[in-house]
Amino acid sequence: MAAIVQTPLSSRSRYLWVDRERGRFLVHRSAYTSPEIFEEERRRILHRSWIVLAHESEVPNKGDFVVRQVVDRELIFNRDVDGKVNAFFNSCRHRGAAICREPRGNRTRFVCPYHGWAYKSSGELFNQHSTFGYGERFNEGGFYDLTRVARLDKRGGFYFVNFDPNAISLDDYLQDAGPMLDAIADQSGVGMEVVRGCHEYEIKANYKLICENSYDGYHLDITHSSFVDYMRTMVRGIPVSEMNIRGVAKSLGNGHACFELEIPTGRPVAQWLPVWGEEARLEIEAKKKELESRLGKAKADRISVTNRNMVIFPNSIINDQQTVLLRTVTPTAHNRMIIRAWSIGPKDEGPVLRRIRNEGALSFLGPGGFATPDDVEMLELCQRGFENAEVEWNDISKGFRPEENTLRDYDEHYDNELQMRAYWFRWNEIMSAPESRG
């Protein structure tokens, strides 16, 4: 693989063409269309990165478990009878059958449906459903216990996994994305919880396109014109012309990035809209006072006013808007992905604000809302357009400055493309480096 050849103002690799003199940042379309490159990035990036698995609130009780897919692995995430949180591969050590067939539940033991091998909730094998045929030292040292994921760690209530036993720590990996997760946890003094229910849908496009789209402010008034028209009807009490939208884009290190918007479209955490009514106003005012008392006015204002869309490289998406929405992206091929999305809110949120949260999540971010169907159509159109192989390069140059420090920088215009350049810069670094087989 060709190494990057650098000059003071330009560089070019197999995947990126960066011309700082002309303000061009280009990504080769093979990164979206090649099955071979997809297999390579799955090996180099997806299997060696920290990826969101679940939220701590999903296993509050001893014995609770959920089954999740991360990249191409199916995992059991559970809290065992001793209260320890674990992540196991959903595969019996005998003949490989998936042990858990249900998506969630509560069990003190896992029993394989094929031959009855039984495991404690801590993963230890304790019965082979047979009194003969196995030697006394058969499971010496826990040889046949359930296999654990190499790395499991938590930040801001979110559990991450990494299949690489030699990976750097989660905190070092997250860099400036870590405090963003902490700020989400700060929205409640008693903790956040996943709202019951999951949206799941397929997109016929490369998984990196949903990452790009998730913090792309440039497409709002074109792709989501129906939403903009809806806002102009003033059903929320504020005309678009008076919204005074302000925002920034930030690259957060290691390919993570976000944009932040101050836009008065309402947040159940503490930004009231007249259309929500007087009962909601009283609850939101009480919530704002609680935030100020616990965190101070400056931080409370930031939590209550600022919407944030963040991508944690390479495929974890957290939208902090009408709700906190966790989107996990499961690439199934170079041109297919499955999206699963969960809404997250304060544990102590009352029914009025929970209803507002759910309506906000459904009306804009849900698979039938204002935004998601538009986005899905655009991403599939992009994948369709990529098949024109003679057109080699995608442009991600908006706001590109010659002096830009792409991996950790700031842009005062949220609708520029710094955040996407941060993603691709890190992706290219990994894909262009000598490959380690360790």
Query: CA-CA distances (angstroms) from residue 321 to 162, 324, 344, 362?
Result: 28, 6, 11, 12
pLDDT in the model for residue 355: 95
DSSP string, 41-83: HHHHTGGGS-EEEEEGGGS-STTEEEEEEETTEEEEEEE-TTS
pLDDT in the model for residue 216: 92
Q: Which of 164, 82, 154 is nearest to 123 (CA)?
A: 82
Residue appearing with tokens 């496009």: 205
pLDDT in the model for residue 4: 45
Evaluate whether 286 touches 350 at the Cβ level (below 8 Å): no
pLDDT in the model for residue 6: 41
Domain residue spans of the chain: 51-155, 169-390+403-432
pLDDT in the model for residue 3: 46
Superfamily name and number for 169-390+403-432 = Naphthalene 1,2-dioxygenase Alpha Subunit; Chain A, domain 1 (3.90.380.10)
pLDDT in the model for residue 393: 97
Three-class SS of residue 16?
Answer: strand
Distance CA 329, CA 430 (A): 20
Q: What are the average pLDDT values for consecutive 10-residue runs of the chain, which has 438 residues?
A: 50 94 96 98 98 98 98 98 98 97 96 97 95 90 97 98 98 98 96 94 97 90 70 55 76 97 84 90 95 96 92 97 94 97 96 93 83 92 91 96 94 95 98 81
Distance CA 28, CA 18 (A): 11
pLDDT in the model for residue 266: 83
pLDDT in the model for residue 241: 53
Distance CA 130, CA 133 (A): 8
Give the other-Cβ count within 10 Å of 262's Cβ.
17
Query: CA-CA distances (angstroms) from residue 109 to 89, 106, 113, 379?
Result: 15, 9, 13, 43
Query: CA-CA distances (angstroms) from residue 309 to 181, 251, 297?
Result: 12, 12, 23
Share of the chain above pLDDT 90, in %: 79
Check residue 141 and report its DSSP letter: G
pLDDT in the model for residue 356: 93
Whole-structure pTM value: 0.93
In CATH, the architecture of 51-155 is 3-layer Sandwich (2.102)
pLDDT in the model for residue 7: 41
Give the other-Cβ count within 10 Å of 171's Cβ.
11
Please give the structure tokens belonging to residue 174.
């997250």
Residue appearing with tokens 């440039």: 218
Fold agreement (51-155, 169-390+403-432): no
Three-class SS of residue 281?
Answer: helix
Question: With the C-alpha atoms ordered 25, 31, 33, 34, is the resulting torsion angle positive or negative?
Answer: positive
